[in-house]
């Protein structure tokens, strides 16, 4: 932001140079980027008046002028400019003068006629043409006729002092104004501030407008004041000059007032031509989808219902916080004006500006946040200028949608803690003085300070904010460097993280490769796996539809990895991922965050049991015992006949099986894919912290094989459980080594062959001890499952 130092001098008595001021403000957090010294290179250039003009005798395009520069004799100057006339007041560079860029001007002859200087254009005085009236463009700068003839041009045009350009951070919107910088200057150089009082006269006439706001969240405050008998004319030179130095083009007195007040107070304003409004109402409401609106820059823009508009109850007249409309702009024929000064919700303005591709001085301020007191200060300042210069009559009263009295935000801080964090031994009284210099209202209760935050400081909320304020005014360069004194601690991983690391190692040791995917997915990813769209955690400002929600399952992410490998002709894939999933529960403000483990394999010679063996190996390594599997045919993710629940003790911790063919078709995958999905948090809770071990028996084992025919629906787990329950504590291991169904056994049956190892813990077993146990197992199989031995 460009800040003319002369403007700041209106409020603060600055007794240091512009460079010293810029350095001081930089040290207190308001970073100065550059300093531009106005008129520094200009010398011996004065205000002159053209007394006569004659054609050059030997050049058709040259003119010989006689200029009054306040001396006894007129100065003769030859010029090629065609925009000058007798009586014009112009800048005159005399003999031995200097212009910006180090240009030297001396007397000489042009085509045989003596010329004792040069008439200057705005460019030659380092002022951009865009700020000039049409007559002064592409020619000599035609000045105000009231200027004193012979006066130094720098004094006449206020081309002195300096302009400091500041780089402001988004958290300090209060500094995007001259008064904001003046407040910072006052605190930095310890000088009192003198702010405008803005008193003005009003005419006793009823203000007949009504104001309503349909969405008070997007517009917390909206103010109007009416001006009658308006005179449209150029604004005073001082106002034009300050606008130019701040980078704003002067237009006319009414528009210039709104821009001047915006620069001065940081509060954007707008002026409507009251007679171009169709009603005596202002209604603040959202636009209609597809609505068309022509802005002041003569561009038709398409609106949507997310955008806040200012209307007269019938038509839209401005895009709130961004730009006014062409249908109510100030023209040379305007006689009645309504001033708007409002507070708009910053996110709404930012999104509107972004959607329309329209960023203005107004939107750049609103989108960073403006305090709710400022609209009133700004509108009163505008009325002050109207009354002071006689540009109209201020109608008595104002319209204001604010319903509650504005109160300063109050926070409490511990001064001792602030001093301790600061690291310097300073007194609490010094902290109080610094805060009072920053315009906080301070009361003390022991070590506690009760602070009332200035209205303009929307960035102050907590104790650390106050610490920063004290530190920057006290001076970072004054803080003493000290060695860090603290207790050294050793960081370590949590039990959950150590278990996760072990799980990754176990899974990789069993042939699975870890994959890592993003936490964002799209709703169409859930459609691909027929997953219910309930309790979704949607992202407010997503990068796109494919990343619009936080994932509620890892399955879509894993399937995208599988699809990518399959489409790139990889014949085999085996991977896993451990990651967070996010669930938005209705009765909770914060989303629930859980961890899930997903693994998938495919390959020409790969089947369900390959994946199960990988998982079993990992479970064994992790100490996950008492696990079992049961058939599951209701999970829509898996094939109805090729899926199992995974139990640890009596808790279902996940599922394993072949993916449903419909889901594979959704991904255009022509191979069978096997997957497990496990609740990783439950898996962690199911682990044994101590690995169990037992002595190896020194006694010989007896091996018995058993083959029987049984109903094909009986599960292997059930058979194994029955053998263990009837082992009489001498069965060491059970292994299924053959399973057959076909022409050799009847339909609906299967043949199963087990190898059972018997071993005693404290003795050598005999056939007399083993035979009854073996017979009992056979009898129990027959009783419970109607099994019979196969011959």
Return binding residues: 459, 465, 468-469
Whole-number Å distance between alpha carbons of 15 and 432: 25
Say if residues 496 and 462 touch (Cβ distance below 8 Å).
no
Whole-number Å distance between alpha carbons of 308 and 323: 11
Beta-sheet strands, E only, within 315-423: 316-319, 323-324, 337-343, 393-394, 399-400, 410-414
Residues 6+ apart with CB under 8 A from 234: 240, 250, 252, 253
Strand order in the sheet with 549-550: 520-521, 549-550, 537-538
Whole-number Å distance between alpha carbons of 744 and 791: 11
Say if residues 172 and 459 touch (Cβ distance below 8 Å).
yes
Angle of the 178-189 helix axis to the 18-27 helix axis, nearest 10 = 80
Q: What angle do CA 333, 248, 378 make, to 5 degrees?
A: 75
Say if residues 753 and 705 touch (Cβ distance below 8 Å).
yes
HSE-up (13 A, CA, CB side) for residue 26: 15
Going by their DSSP bridges, the two strands 75-79 and 89-99 should be labelled as unpaired
Cα–chain center distance at 590: 20
Q: Scanning the structure block, which residue is given the tokens 């300063």?
A: 408
Three-class SS of 194-247: CCCCCCCCCECCCCCCEEEECCCCCCCEEEEEEEECCCCCCCCHHHHHHHHHCC
Furthest-apart CA pair in the chain: how many Å?
A: 146
Cα–chain center distance at 258: 29
Integer distance in angstroms from the first to the last C-alpha of the chain? 97
Q: What is the CA radius of gyration of the chain?
A: 43
Say if residues 46 and 69 touch (Cβ distance below 8 Å).
yes
Whole-number Å distance between alpha carbons of 93 and 89: 13
Residue of 618, 582, 581, 584 lying closest to 599 (CA atoms): 618
Say if residues 164 and 3 touch (Cβ distance below 8 Å).
yes
Positions at the binding site for Mg(2+)? 459, 465, 468-469
Whole-number Å distance between alpha carbons of 324 and 311: 11
Ramachandran angles phi, psi of 173, nearest 5°: -65, -20
Q: What is the DSSP letter of 616?
A: H
Say if residues 428 and 447 touch (Cβ distance below 8 Å).
yes
Give the three-state DSSP class for 349: helix
Whole-number Å distance between alpha carbons of 27 and 16: 15
Q: Quickly count: other Cβ atoms within 10 Å of residue 465's Cβ.
A: 16
Cα–chain center distance at 535: 25
């Amino acid at each position: 932001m460009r800040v003319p130092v002369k403007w700041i001098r209106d409020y603060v008595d600055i007794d240091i140079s512009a460079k010293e001021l810029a350095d001081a403000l930089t040290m207190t957090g308001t970073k100065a980027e550059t300093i531009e010294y106005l008129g520094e290179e200009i010398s011996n250039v004065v205000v002159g008046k053209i007394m006569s003009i004659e054609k050059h005798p030997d050049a058709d395009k040259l003119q010989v002028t006689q200029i009054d520069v306040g001396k006894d004799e007129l100065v003769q100057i030859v010029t090629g400019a065609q925009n000058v006339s007798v009586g014009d007041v112009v800048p005159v560079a005399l003999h031995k003068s200097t212009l910006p860029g180090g240009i030297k001007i001396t007397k000489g002859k042009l085509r045989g006629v003596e010329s004792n200087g040069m008439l200057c254009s705005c460019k030659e005085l380092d002022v951009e043409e865009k700020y000039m009236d049409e007559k002064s463009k592409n020619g000599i700068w035609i000045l105000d006729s009231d200027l004193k003839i012979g006066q130094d041009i720098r004094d006449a045009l206020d081309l002195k002092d300096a302009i400091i350009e500041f780089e402001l951070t988004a958290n300090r919107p209060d500094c995007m104004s001259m008064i904001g910088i003046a407040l910072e200057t006052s605190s930095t150089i310890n000088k009192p501030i003198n702010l405008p009082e803005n008193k003005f006269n009003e005419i006793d006439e009823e203000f007949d407008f009504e104001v309503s706001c349909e969405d008070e969240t997007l517009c917390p405050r909206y103010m109007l004041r009416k001006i009658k008998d308006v005179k449209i004319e150029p604004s005073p030179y001082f106002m034009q000059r300050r606008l130019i130095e701040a980078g704003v083009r002067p237009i006319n007195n009414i528009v210039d007032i709104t821009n001047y007040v915006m620069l001065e107070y940081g509060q954007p304003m707008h002026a409507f031509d009251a007679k171009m409004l169709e009603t005596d109402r202002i209604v603040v409401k959202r636009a209609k989808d597809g609505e068309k609106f022509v802005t002041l820059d003569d561009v038709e823009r398409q609106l949507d219902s997310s955008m806040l508009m200012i209307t007269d109850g019938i038509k839209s007249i401005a895009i709130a916080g961004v730009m006014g409309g062409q249908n109510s702009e100030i023209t040379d024929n305007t006689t009645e004006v309504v001033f708007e000064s409002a507070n708009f919700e910053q996110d709404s303005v930012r999104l509107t500006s972004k959607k329309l591709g329209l960023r203005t001085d107004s939107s750049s301020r609103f989108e960073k946040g403006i305090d709710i007191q400022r609209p009133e200060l700004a509108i009163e300042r505008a009325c002050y200028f109207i009354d002071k210069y006689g540009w109209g009559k201020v109608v008595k009263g104002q319209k204001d949608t604010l319903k509650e009295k504005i109160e300063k935000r109050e926070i409490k801080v511990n001064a001792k803690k602030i001093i301790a964090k600061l690291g310097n031994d300073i007194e609490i009284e010094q902290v109080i003085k610094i805060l009072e210099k920053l315009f906080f209202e301070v009361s003390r209760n022991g070590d506690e300070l009760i602070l009332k935050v200035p209205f303009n400081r929307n960035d102050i909320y907590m104790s650390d904010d106050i610490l920063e304020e004290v530190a920057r005014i006290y001076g970072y360069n004054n803080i003493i460097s000290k060695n860090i004194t603290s207790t050294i601690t050793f960081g370590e991983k949590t039990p959950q993280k150590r278990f996760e690391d072990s799980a990754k190692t176990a899974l990789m040791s069993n042939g699975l490769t870890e994959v890592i995917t993003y936490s964002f997915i799209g709703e169409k990813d859930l459609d691909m796996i027929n997953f219910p769209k309930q309790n979704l955690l949607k992202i407010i400002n997503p990068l796109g539809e494919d990343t619009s929600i936080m994932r509620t399952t890892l399955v879509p992410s894993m399937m995208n990895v599988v699809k990518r490998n399959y489409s790139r002709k990889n014949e085999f894939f085996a991977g896993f991922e451990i990651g967070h999933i996010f669930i938005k529960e209705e009765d909770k403000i914060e989303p629930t965050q859980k961890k899930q483990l997903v693994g998938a394999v495919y390959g020409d010679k790969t089947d369900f049991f390959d994946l199960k063996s990988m998982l079993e190996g990992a479970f064994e390594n992790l100490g996950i015992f008492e696990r079992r599997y049961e058939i599951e045919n209701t999970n829509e993710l898996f094939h109805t006949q090729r899926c199992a629940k995974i139990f640890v003790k009596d808790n279902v911790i996940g599922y394993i099986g072949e993916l449903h063919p419909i889901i594979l078709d959704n991904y255009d995958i022509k191979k069978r894919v096997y997957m497990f999905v496990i609740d990783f948090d439950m898996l962690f809770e199911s682990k044994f912290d101590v690995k169990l071990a037992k002595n190896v028996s020194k006694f010989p084992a007896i091996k018995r094989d058993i083959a029987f025919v049984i109903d094909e629906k009986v599960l292997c787990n059930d058979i194994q459980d029955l053998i263990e329950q009837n082992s009489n504590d001498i069965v060491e291991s059970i292994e299924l080594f053959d399973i057959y169904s076909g022409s050799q056994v009847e339909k609906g049956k299967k043949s199963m062959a087990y190898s059972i190892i018997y071993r005693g813990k404290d003795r050598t077993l005999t056939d007399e001890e083993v035979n009854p146990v073996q017979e009992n197992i056979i009898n129990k199989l027959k009783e419970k499952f109607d099994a019979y031995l196969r011959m």
